């Protein structure tokens, strides 16, 4: 059974419970916090990442259009998927946010932080995430270069201030099946 905490801000949070074996919604069930594996928060409001410490088995987080407080606490070790779209990050931890996922989430498979105002550079230590398959850091203010992460299937770093010379571009395209560096999308066969 997969349990998702779904919260559309300005409304009451609801638990959405799915039985993944039959892919159907289960209406009445009592759920323990330890059963929640997925959190989705949408809307204009606040999300306090320190709340994640009370949800020990969360594997997926999806945040859209929210202001995130205590961002350094987003990186909980159980995470496999992080998707943040058009979120405002409350503090100056923009450049260290990616590092917190690198050092705290060894099983991370997807890291999408899109249009969130990230600044700084992409740490070469991101290559230590051996399970990482999809990285989308598009539409931020990242600078520097892009490490080549051989485990990736999908990379999108478009609309940033990155230094990508022709050699690096060639290496990225050769080592990653789906690459988006600027405005074009390249798929290798």
Say what the pLDDT of residue 56 is: 83
Phi, psi of 19 (to 5 degrees): -95, 110
- pLDDT per residue, tens digit, the chain (189 aa), is 445 555 554 554 555 544 444 344 444 445 567 777 888 887 777 788 888 888 888 888 988 888 888 888 888 899 999 989 888 887 555 667 888 888 999 999 999 999 998 888 899 999 999 999 999 999 998 988 899 998 999 999 999 988 888 888 888 888 888 988 864 433 443
CATH number of 2-187: 3.80.10.10
Say what the pLDDT of residue 29 is: 46
Residue 6: which residues within 8 A CB-CB, separation 6 or more? 13, 14, 15, 16, 40
Say what the pLDDT of residue 92 is: 52
Domain residue extents for the chain: 2-187
C-alpha–C-alpha distance, residues 84 and 112, integer Å:
6
Please provide the DSSP assignment of the chain as one string. Answer: -EEEEEEETTS--EEEEEETTTTEE--S----GGGEEEEEEESSSEEEGGGGGG-TT--EEEEES-EEESGGG---TT-SEEEEESPEE-SSTHHHHHHHHHHH-TT--EEEEESS--EEE--GGGGG-TT--EEE--SSEEEE-----TT-SEEE--SSEE---HHHHHHHHHH-SEEESSS--EE--
């Amino acid at each position: 059974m997969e349990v998702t905490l779904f919260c559309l801000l300005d409304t009451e949070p609801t638990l959405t419970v799915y039985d993944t074996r039959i892919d159907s919604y289960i209406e009445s069930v009592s759920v323990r916090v330890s059963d929640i594996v997925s959190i989705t928060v949408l809307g204009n409001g606040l999300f306090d990442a320190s709340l994640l410490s009370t949800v020990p088995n969360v594997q997926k987080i999806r945040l859209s259009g929210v202001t995130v407080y205590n961002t350094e606490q987003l990186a909980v070790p159980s995470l496999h998927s992080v998707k943040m779209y058009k979120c405002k990050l409350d503090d100056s931890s923009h450049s260290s946010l990616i590092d917190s996922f690198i050092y705290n989430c060894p099983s991370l498979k997807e890291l999408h932080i899109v249009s969130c105002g990230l600044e700084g550079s992409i740490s070469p230590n991101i290559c230590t995430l051996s399970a990482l398959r999809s990285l989308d850091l598009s539409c931020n203010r990242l600078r520097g270069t892009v490490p080549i992460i051989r485990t990736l299937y999908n990379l999108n770093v478009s609309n940033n201030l990155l230094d990508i010379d022709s050699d690096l571009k060639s290496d990225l395209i050769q080592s990653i099946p789906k690459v988006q560096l600027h405005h074009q999308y390249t798929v290798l066969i």
